[in-house]
Amino acid sequence: MVVNVIVNISGSSVDDYAELAERLNVAGRRCARDQHLLSECQGGRHCLWTDPRAAADVVRAVAAESEKPVIAKLSPNVTSITEMALAVEEAGADDLAHQYTHRHAD
């Protein structure tokens, strides 16, 4: 029996994502998914998933290392979701997902 598994990966740099994507190249896993967790965008740090160029860099790095399809999970906390979607698509995302949670000011 073959089970499809979608794995969320997270990192604070492009290299983190690429390393994790490479580690997923094992038998039995058929899909890699990249995701940047909201908690990593807090505390004044730059969030890779709010900048289309940075997000594209992550997708490009993951796609280069992964033997699996890449699904880019888009944050709703961006100025233009269209710009973000086009950037990650052009960078090599095989599919897109959208998260429905919003960050609220304290």
- The DSSP H or E segment spanning 96 is strand 95-98
Pairwise CA distance, residues 55 & 27, whole Å: 27
Sign of the four-CA dihedral 19, 23, 24, 25: positive
41 noted as active-site residue: yes
Q: How far apart are the first and last CA of the chain?
A: 47
Which residue out of 24, 41, 59, 62 is catalytically annotated? Answer: 41
Tokens of 24: 């997923």
Q: What amino acid positions are annotated as catalytic residues?
A: 41
